[in-house]
Structure 1
Amino acid sequence: GTIPPNESLSSPLSLDIRIEIESHYHLPPNPSRAEELRKIVNDYGFHHISTRIWPSLKCAICIISHTVKQFELKLLSTYWNPQTPIYPYAYGMSEHHHLAIPLNTNSYQLVPLPRSVYYEFIEAKDDDEEDDDDDHQPESFELDQIEGNKGKRYEVVLTTYDGLYRYRTEDIVEVTGHYYTLPIWELIGRFATEHVTEMELCDVIDSILSEYKDEFTSSPQYSVFIDNNSSHYVLAIEVDSDKEDKLKQIGKEICSKFDQKLQESNEEYKKCRSKKKISSPILLWLKNNTLTTGVREYLLNNKGGSKIQKSNQIKSTVVITNRSKNIIKFLKENKVLKIEL
């Protein structure tokens, strides 16, 4: 056949054809179903609403990881019936979507798919100054070389069938065991120079917030960043507008437990605190929806390009790096109260 000229490819469809095509993809109104859903919410609220809306629901398939655990906890504590299993879909990314699969239901442990990509792994070392040199090529290991290295951490490197060659993903995984001849790993965070991983931060914060369930309407959203001016961690937590009177009372408790549990779970953090290289952490109570929607709206309104392009690039994050200085500034401007030890 003959390829038509560009103007033929990009010519807009006539209005009548466009309306006809769109009508096939729009669900028609369903008043009876709307009334049924309204009655369910009025009678039972949103608690375990998943199986009330879909009585025959057998499972859910989605992506879960430590980086979105706070949202998972909110879903499980409010909307989801725990009797329905959740199957994590896969470990993947925009560059290649299907790299590893979960070992079990509701599991963070992943088994790689060796034929999906060609895997290499770079050992993640603390204070690896050589790795900052663009001319330095760090030693890499193949999939079968890391199977027995339980407890070791690596950055994942990919070569794909689509043309990516030795692509450094900046994802850090920790080997936790083996499945036959394949390693089992957990995604613990992103490549950085910090000693405390994102997974460790999430585990510590989630364990603390679970002790204060009655103080929050639902699992609150939080983020962490480092204040380089005084070398300390800053824990920022959204607060319900009707709970602000209790902030001072529980703020110091949460801040103290955050510091204590970080020292218990991470030896490097404990050493830095004892040598006074890191100051005691600070807690920022944030206005409601600062993290939920505020950061996203701030980025959409303060970056160039179309809204469609920008919305595809904005992701929720637990750890905010110092490269995102504008976001850190935005959080500080939206604090309700600052708690120091």
Structure 2
Amino acid sequence: MVSTTALSLFSVMEKNWRTLCNDIEKGELSKSLNIPQDERTRLNGMMKPNPKRAAFLRKEFGKGFENIVARIWPECPCLVALNTGVFETPAKLVKQRYLGNLPVASLIHLGTESTFGINIHHTNQSPEAHYTPLITNNFFEFIPIAEFGEKTPSTLLAHQVEVGQMYEMVVTTFDGLYRYRTEDVVKIIRFYGTTPVYKFIQRAGDTLSAHLEKLPEFLLHDAVYAAAAARSNSIVEFTSCESVHVQLASGTDYALGYFVFIELQDAGKLNDHEIELVDAEICARHTVYDAMRRNNKLKPIKIVHLRTGAFCEIKKLMLSSNPDAFYMQYKLPRIMRRVDILKAMLDMKV
């Protein structure tokens, strides 16, 4: 499971718990659900009336959904879900709203091409996802960060990488992929014997560049959370782009810089000091951006606050434009350059 799926699951449960309890009590699905008849028949055949469970759930749901997982599933040790990269923010929301003290365990680093790594060191005290490469599944090589843009970069073997450095992961698989560039950027945390232990950082192509400065997405992510540290748990989601794309979407001229579209709980807003801090935090993390801000080649970052539920609407828009997309694996791009989506977000600002 990915954390966006978990967030959708618990959100639907919170909004529809009365109908859910009625269905459990009666042992059949509500007639108000718009599902095909053959699917309804199949699911009803798997259900049995359970008035006792329904009564218990009504009582617990009626108290609110804080720490609901431990209250209705007391033996649940954790939520197993991907919580790195773009899945980090929804994972934080799931934990804050529904899990309480239960951890979110991100146990595998999974790609379309293969399973790359496994989190063998997960504990409640150290919930951050650090992966060990599955060297029995793939042959791994690593491209140093300084050579990401090259067509024929040099590579290092697993035992040659250095702690604290970032690399793009390259795999050769039993299924026939040869020296395949995954575009997954990882940071080496430590070694487990002679095998590196790494943290997923971002996709290699996730960079903002309004004036050739090439700012990695994860630095923007860290800057937003650092600036909004006092309210980090209230960040629902955010995405970003260079100002030229907003100019195309709106027809309004903007100086070179970045836009961040952000949704906070209860339609909240970052204050002026926090917005200034976002820009300052980026400057502290990226010397080229800092230099371009100082010589006025880039203007201060602009924050667009979105109404409650905006990113749920964006999800529906993006999925509707790609009917072959798998709903449960949707992930919001941290860098959004689609004109139609930018237009929609501009219409959702508060």
Shift of 1:35: 2.1
Amino acid at match of 1:112: P
Shift of 1:117: 0.6
**SS of residue matched to 1:168:** strand
Separation (CA, whole Å) in 2 of partners of 1:279 and 1:102: 44
User: Is residue 316 of structure 1 aligned with residue 331 of structure 2?
Assistant: yes
**Given the superposition, is the C-alpha separation of residues 243 and 59 from structure 1 closer, same or farther in structure 2, using an over 3 Å criterion?**
closer
Q: TM-score, normalised by structure 1?
A: 0.76
Shift of 1:258: 0.7
Alignment of 1:31-42 (within 5 A): 31-42=51-62
Whether contact under 8 Å (2:267, 2:308) holds in the other structure is no
Counterpart of 1:93?
A: 111
User: Is residue 335 of structure 1 aligned with residue 346 of structure 2?
Assistant: no
Separation (CA, whole Å) in 2 of partners of 1:125 and 1:98: 22
Counterpart of 1:138?
A: 153
Separation (CA, whole Å) in 1 of partners of 2:146 and 2:90: 30
Counterpart of 2:130?
A: 109
Match for residue 182 of structure 1 among 186, 195, 199: 195
Amino acid at match of 2:78: C
**Given the superposition, is the C-alpha separation of residues 287 and 59 from structure 1 closer, same or farther in structure 2, using an over 3 Å criterion?**
closer
Counterpart of 1:12?
A: none
Shift of 1:118: 0.9
For structure 2, the 5+ residue unaligned runs are: 1-37, 209-213, 245-253
Match for residue 276 of structure 1 among 292, 296, 300: 296
Cα deviation, 1:136-191, whole Å, max 9, x if unaligned, reads: 42222221221xx2232211111111122222111111222222211122111111
Whether contact under 8 Å (2:256, 2:299) holds in the other structure is yes
Number of corresponding residues:
295
Separation (CA, whole Å) in 2 of partners of 1:152 and 1:98: 18
Cα deviation, 1:239-281, whole Å, max 9, x if unaligned, reads: 55x647xx4xx44233111111222233333223223332110
Rg (Cα) greater in structure: 1
User: Is residue 73 of structure 1 aligned with residue 92 of structure 2?
Assistant: yes
Separation (CA, whole Å) in 2 of partners of 1:330 and 1:77: 28
> Over the residues paired in the alignment, what is the CA RMSD in angstroms?
2.9
Amino acid at match of 1:42: G
Counterpart of 2:239?
A: 223
**SS of residue matched to 1:155:** strand
Cα deviation, 1:70-91, whole Å, max 9, x if unaligned, reads: 1122122221121x34432111
Amino acid at match of 2:108: A
**SS of residue matched to 1:75:** helix
Amino acid at match of 1:145: Q
Q: Which runs of 4+ in 1 moved over 4 A?
A: none
Whether contact under 8 Å (1:66, 1:188) holds in the other structure is yes
Cα deviation, 1:294-334, whole Å, max 9, x if unaligned, reads: 1222123344xxx3x13459732352243x33322322232
Whether contact under 8 Å (1:123, 1:155) holds in the other structure is yes
For structure 1, the 5+ residue unaligned runs are: 1-17, 337-341
**Given the superposition, is the C-alpha separation of residues 98 and 120 from structure 1 closer, same or farther in structure 2, using an over 3 Å criterion?**
closer
Whether contact under 8 Å (2:163, 2:188) holds in the other structure is yes
Whether contact under 8 Å (2:310, 2:345) holds in the other structure is yes
Percent of aligned pairs sharing the same letter: 23
Counterpart of 2:180?
A: 167
Whether contact under 8 Å (1:189, 1:199) holds in the other structure is yes
Amino acid at match of 1:101: N
**SS of residue matched to 1:230:** coil
Separation (CA, whole Å) in 1 of partners of 2:199 and 2:179: 21
**SS of residue matched to 2:300:** coil
Match for residue 199 of structure 1 among 218, 238, 241: 218
Match for residue 258 of structure 1 among 229, 254, 278: 278
Whether contact under 8 Å (2:68, 2:98) holds in the other structure is yes
Separation (CA, whole Å) in 2 of partners of 1:300 and 1:63: 20
Shift of 1:199: 2.9
Q: TM-score, normalised by structure 2?
A: 0.74
